[in-house]
Structure 1
């Protein structure tokens, strides 16, 4: 791997290059091997400080980043908004600058408003602080590390020893659910189409408006990928036909108050992933879900627990290796 990593922040996957995807995947594969050892720690980021600034609740992402940082021997600082100075009127940028003053090298930011990680990254650059910022999910914008761990999980199924994006060329990946509100879907669309996969989106018209087709223009000037294969379906059956991988997204119960769906039961009947529906896919199809899962809504409970089809537990495991790779690369690690 001869690529040199030059990206200082990871905010979005919109302009990621194929070589960068492969560098992340191969770095994660090496850390996956480290995590299989009896001693699961390496001194790579010893002396560095990673601050997890999570302004909204999270279980998987926050714990995954904290464990990844500790596996790299970094010191960690964890931010809890309920007990922070935010409750006394401090601004988000002032909070970030407080962590900068404590010697933080990498800030992992999660916020319910889109654009907050970018704003903090811009402020760190303005101050010439050399602090790197990693977006751990912002509003309805993006969730880069989730999409990268999904990509790593899929490519590891196709080739456990050498996961690379070329393995996804012309594979059909179907994403089902609340596409409209999903930052996970947006990041996955960027990564999967960059890999050359056919991405089929399926969901109710209220959660997948027709205008979503224009979200990724076919030839976007600032995008390194000139052709992206993206298709929309309001019926799930054609989206699932001959699919190699199916990703189902969490149906956020808070959306029910907006009358976007008649009922959870009806949603499951029309869009829930079941064994019967998987018969439309290719044999050997595998199912992913970023979690947390509403059992019996997005996916049937028995299917979720079936290792023949479900990659959900592998996604959680992949999360630590991918986040180790991202922290390592932006923390000054070399290929």
Structure 2
């Protein structure tokens, strides 16, 4: 599917996402950056140099459904992979449970109650009392069924391994994430998100930078893309395999379980209009059909734009989803092939 095949309602909603996100988060970005200033000690320039093996290639582990469906973490552990492992906050606990201690973990989202879950939430019951965001879409059935016990185990797991992991923490991080990261003992490196034109002296990005003077990085709107940008542009690793980067849903997933289902109700007047906001794509490696929504489509568009201006080679090893390019500029290959260096 391409832009020309998308209906006007869908295109209209996608066009509003940048402004919607900025309006939602602009105040939080400034407030959190100011609150985090006392802790912003190290930045990208303080990262230690990589060993030759770590510099050679990287695997970015996002948190999409394919992570479970294709046993990605079990394969990664069994492979004894010796390159760099960069994970997003939402896949950190899953990695640790599979015996994988990543080199880096990124966190981006400023949400005041949800993001701390990925590090073990000391106020879990209160933060989830009136919020079904995770229960609607949680892939971890064990966590969903035994959430209080699992959360406590996650706290202990993070506490055990945090000191061995570099946390690439955005200045937008909410207070509870920062408090939890400091409590667990992560080695923390700070950065700022590029949310608009930084060359504009009045831009939000410039305002954030002026608070702490830390490096700014393009995120594409999502922590998965930010993790890839970090590996590509900051670590300058020439070969990167991305996993769990679905940017969409399996065809049998009910739309009620999608991330922005409630929010999209505001843009439509009927179930028929709502259905038009979930276009379908065929993944070229497998021929399997997936669907996306305006937000994931926007993330996909941003990733493809950033990728078109990047150096090195990126391999989508997710084996599913919507992240591919019509010009085949992103190599879609099985994860086993990347692990066996058959690229």
TM over 0.5: no
Q: TM-score, normalised by structure 1?
A: 0.29
Q: Greater helix percent: which structure?
A: 2
